[in-house]
Structure 1
Amino acid sequence: MTVIDSHSHLFLEEFSSDLPQVIERARMAGVSHIFMPNIDSSTVTPLLEVCNQYKGYCFPMIGLHPTSVNGMYKHELQEISRQLKENETYVAVGEVGMDLYWDQTFLDEQIEAFKFQIELALQYNLPIVIHCRDAFSYIYKVLKEYEGSSLKGIFHSFMGTPEELNQAMEFGGFMFGINGTVTFKKSVLPQILPLIPLDRLVLETDSPYLAPVPHRGKRNESAFIKDTLTKVAEVCKVSPEHLSQLTSENALKVFGMLK
């Protein structure tokens, strides 16, 4: 049984001392692919180094994370553009979107950065990976502007309400990323998950964040995706084997790698 981690930040400093062991544990857990979203210009080099070191196993995305949008965001976006122009290894534009949980100072800039990166994704025929925190209405409004286009992607770490799920479902080219939060005691995901068609689910870890139970509070890593797989299979009333196959196919499909 193999499974895909569609969203992991193994290039961050948290893994600098034991990355080979982390990768080996992921392989032993049956993880067949790890997809890695960028954060900003400061992480491009370590991202590419890890993906080059584990070529064919780790796959890079390029994007500007919404929490990195500040007064220098236009400079950052030009770097994203340059990377896409000069490097064909990127499999998606991400992680992009909006985050109004921590700070709303750069609300307009976040919207502009999101739209700019959607345009890049369409230009290069790549999916986008959307980070959305306390900003769904804004994300939805922007995506509606591209309805009818070839835009596709993943709603990363989806934790919306049933109403938000219905709205997100309107965008048929998008998958829903489920991670360790589904195992948390107060998670609403077990109520939401049965409403999502299985052919639109992908699994992720968001390592080093959001470690699932029984690892909660520890550094998350790709091997722990098995705990998320087990919980999602239980909630959706399917076997882990069936779910791993389906979600793996979904991930490869959205990243344009399904043979």
Structure 2
Amino acid sequence: DLNLPVVVHARDADNDTMHVLRTTLPREHKVYIHAFQGGTDFLKQALARYPNCIFGISGMVWCSEGAVRIAQNCPLDRMVLETDAPYLAPTPSDIPELARKIAEMKGETTARVLKTTTEVCQDFYGLSSFWSSRRCEGA
């Protein structure tokens, strides 16, 4: 009952994953779908059912049409940019390039993609107030 966020890493298991989520988690629970390689149907179901669900978008957008479709269909305010290095591209230093790719795909600026996805991550893990208080301390 700690109400901690759930991080899901599943491959080739959209139906099973959705079944487990539906039978174990309330709608308001925070769910992070890490390194998602599934279909747009799962994406749409998860976004509709779980208002606190976010998706990790990785460098797979450079080599997978499926990853491109997911990035195109996932709202910017429900995504984070991620790396699964050294197993999946990109490395952490490549995140700005990933942000440029997402910005190009969504018709946004790179700065907006970086700002929004950072805020999504901070909100998801409850770090927004932590970072705000740190900024104020140095003022």
Question: How high is the TM-score relative to the length of structure 2?
Answer: 0.83
- Partner Cα distance (1:160, 1:149) in 2: 20
- % identity of equivalent residues: 34
Whether 1:190 aligns to 2:68 is yes
- Partner Cα distance (1:146, 1:159) in 2: 22
- Partner Cα distance (2:42, 2:121) in 1: 22
The secondary structure found in structure 2 opposite 1:133 is coil
Whether 1:158 aligns to 2:36 is yes
| Contact 1:127/1:151 (<8 A) preserved | yes
Q: Return the offset for 1:191.
A: 2.5
Residues 49-198 of structure 1: matches in 2 within 5 Å? 123-148=1-26, 150-169=28-47, 170-184=49-63, 186-198=64-76
Whether 1:258 aligns to 2:137 is no
**Residues 201-235 of structure 1, C-alpha deviation per residue, up to 9 Å, x if partnerless?**
101011112124xxxxxxxx311112211111111
Long gaps (5+) in structure 2: 130-139
More RCO (CA 8 Å, sep 6+): 1
Length, aligned pairs only:
128
Q: Return the offset for 1:166.
A: 1.5
Matched with 1:225 is: 95
- Partner Cα distance (1:171, 1:149) in 2: 5
- The equivalent position to 2:107 in structure 1, one of 221, 237, 241, is 237
**Residues 113-165 of structure 1, C-alpha deviation per residue, up to 9 Å, x if partnerless?**
xxxxxxxxxx2221111101011111100111135354212100122222121
- Partner Cα distance (1:230, 1:248) in 2: 14
Letter in 1 for 2:54: M
The secondary structure found in structure 2 opposite 1:145 is helix
- Partner Cα distance (1:232, 1:149) in 2: 28
- Partner Cα distance (1:258, 1:251) in 2: 9
Which one has the largest radius of gyration? 1
Alignment RMSD (CA, Å): 1.6
| Contact 2:96/2:114 (<8 A) preserved | no
Long gaps (5+) in structure 1: 1-122, 213-220
Distance 1:136 1:187, change over 3 A: same
Letter in 2 for 1:146: T
Letter in 2 for 1:228: L
Whether 1:200 aligns to 2:78 is yes
The secondary structure found in structure 1 opposite 2:8 is strand
| Contact 2:33/2:55 (<8 A) preserved | yes
